[in-house]
Structure 1
Amino acid sequence: MKVIIIDDEKAMHLIMNRMLAKASDVEIVGRFFETETAFSYLMNHEVDLVFVDISMPRESGMEFAQRLRENGRQTKLVFVTSHKEYAIYAFDVYAFDYIVKPVDQDRLHKTIQRALTEKRSERLLLAKREPASNEVAFNCLGGVDIQNSRGERVKWKSSKSAELFGYLLIHKGRFVSRIRIIEDMFGGMPQKNAESYLNTTVYQLRKALDTVGLKEYLHSDNNHYALSLNDVRVDLLRFEEGCRQMTEVDETLIEQALELEQLYTGNLFGDRAFDWAWNEVERISLLYTSFSHRLCVSLLNRNETSTAIRLLMKLIAHNELDEQSMMLLMKALALQKNKEALTMRYMQYKDTLHKEIGIEPSPEAAALYDELLSELDS
């Protein structure tokens, strides 16, 4: 069980350290003389029990506890103080226990044992609730989603927690500095406020991951964060790897390519417009377009025009000015001998180009249209 000590008196640190050392299954992971650094630590690390003095400079133990609760932290708090009269107020902030100084070893032992018993009970309940096999998927194509094998989805506590998940996901397991995250996600906000928001967002993301048994996948030290992608299905990584392997889509790969295409359910992060993500959104979009063009060429070569048209219409809906998609669509419609649809689509494309950017179709597109019409007429 991980515990921290918060007290402005050095002597109290020595006393608590000596007494806690006698308790089995207890690890002191932090000692703090004021609440600010302790608060920052708790926002980035999991702690089972906090021993905190009430009377301290700048921020009292009560105020510290209230701030923790307001930020969603439910960590067990034990007030250690010389003031008996605060006991009734301690439970307003859901204190786990209240110990009056001087601390008695037996009294401390009872508190530790009760906390350990509750921790074991919580683990047993979690073990009963979670199946032995619980595959989790991280999805960021077309949205931002975490889903387990039972179809249960994570409910985001805030838009920023979903954004931080996406931010760390595209860094693919690499550590990212707090400074960089604050610049990209909280730019323009006063530094102190930004740091506080980041701490809260990290906590919310860790709690979200905990609902699918992946709390430990969010790694952190004092200045960096990383999201582990081990043993997790990530649609973006699967799509990128598939596209990399299929530089050419021959007839033997068409079925595999069609399955890969279905992974792309929309732009990276869907409708969530993260300013820092625009370059990556565009890169993945171009990767999808290039891959789909290769797939459609193979489909047309195999005379699977209906499937090709379905994919091309999806591409054109995504970018109605994409000339290569339109030229492939014209070829598909010509293969179906659908002169009316061919003419309608080309004229729509020509009109859109003129209205949107004031130009005519390229000579290549115009020549292809004339050639296809001539073949159909003959």
Structure 2
Amino acid sequence: MNAICVDDEALILTRTVNLVKKTKLFENVESFMDPYDAIDYLDSASVTLALLDIDMPQMGGLELAQKLKEKNPDIKVIFLTGYSEYAVDAYALHATGYLLKPISYDKLVSELEYALQTAGSATESGTKSKDVPRVKVETFGYFNILVDGKLVAFKRNKAKELIACLVDRRGQFVSRKDIFYILWEDDDYDRAKQKYLDTIIRSLKDTLEEYGISDIFEIESGQMRIVADKIDCDLFKFLNKDKAAMNSFTGEYMSSYTWASETEGYLTEMMEI
């Protein structure tokens, strides 16, 4: 397998190439500062994966990705960006994955392995393997859900926080009232707020249905849960003592949510044991 790295900053490009080579996942890793050279390279070589800087003066990473896919529709693309996770959302919708600069080796390995897994998980008939979860859930750092490598965009932030809370509860059923007090802390659970929670739940269900993953969420008699065996989650792998998952934890867990601090402390303690 071959990979290419494209970045207009020489030092960052060299570091990216060295990190990719360190994984020993590819037979050959080529680097390009000129996006047009990368496009021409696909005329003479089969490339499985491209790591592209998003912000380049000659041609941005999004445009470059489109041109690469025109030549090789099966190429997997991972974007590299210095933007915050909120800015990343728009970009990652078009990618197999994304990495924030400066690149962490463990995060790189995780993204590369996932990209290669999705590349090899299709059968000869073009369908996905039933043994490979379509849904990847990231909890280390910021919370994100990806479906077939594409980031899920939630219409309401509270809907995203709701499913993040259920992931934190690791498949256990949680009551509506408990969910409310986790998400809104000291607020009153009055009739108006109950109706608002209904709106959040509907928004969550609509988003999951839109991405074809409604089966990861269950609600029965006012109790909700995430279906743990239908997702590939770094938290669950960590708790099962998966070495790669444990190495990828850098002390940050669902950074946007204050209620996640208890689990973050627990994971930190486990790392110190």
TM-score range (shorter-chain normalised) is 0.3 to 0.5
State the TM-score, normalized to the length of structure 2. 0.47
Please identify which structure carries the higher strand content: 2
State the TM-score, normalized to the length of structure 1. 0.35
- From the CA coordinates, give the structure whose radius of gyration is larger: 1
Please identify which structure carries the higher helix content: 1
The structure whose RCO (Cα within 8 Å, separation 6+) is larger is 2
